[in-house]
Amino acid sequence: MNEARGARLRQVHTALASPLRLRMMEVLWVRPRSARELAPLVGMPADRLYHHLKRLADAGLVEVREYRPRPGGKVERVYAAATTEPPGEDVSPEELSAFLAMVMETTRADLEAAFQAKLAGERREVQLTRTAARLSLEALQELKAAFETAVRDASRHSGGGPYVRILWTLIDAEDRSCDPPEADPTGA
């Protein structure tokens, strides 16, 4: 691991080592909020949250989304969970690795926050499934389409329940160029 990536991951781990900052991330995933709006949701006065928001921002986990005017000419920062776009085809292995590390770290933080909330008496649903299947290219495309349809359909039914984060991965465990040729359904 190169030195810059190692330092970046240490910064993320340090930022997420605090249960308070994990809770702040959980709240900011739902929607952007100011420190004043975060305070009652995380049980700490707004003036004590700025240090924690800075730690999260320095780690690249939150960003200032907007500056909102307040009475008396003051302005408050509105924070949001940082958006990390998937790298394109021209990405270096190091950039792809850094992106995947951020996705996995965010997922770890989500899981930890959910389990801590469950321990505190909240009802949280967490479903983890890991499996393997041998899929032809056609079956693989069908699976991807079915999952994308299910997520799109679920997104249309916002029934006022809590937000649910979904992480779905599909990884070829072997070189697909070794696929046997598809059988001709006509038998020719």
Sequence spans of domains, the chain: 3-129
Residue 51 — pLDDT band, cuts 50, 70, 90?
very high
**pLDDT top residue among 173 and 145:** 145
CATH topology of domain 3-129: Arc Repressor Mutant, subunit A (1.10.10)
User: How much is the pTM?
Assistant: 0.53
User: Under DSSP, is residue 75 helix (H, G, I), strand (E, B) or coil?
Assistant: strand
The whole-number pLDDT of residue 159 equals: 66
Q: Which residue intervals of 17-128 are DSSP H helices?
A: 19-30, 35-42, 50-58, 93-119
pLDDT at residue 79, as a whole number: 95
Residue 111 has pLDDT above 60, yes or no: yes
Judged by DSSP in three states, 72 sits in helix
Provide the pLDDT confidence category of residue 34 given band limits of 50, 70 and 90.
Answer: very high
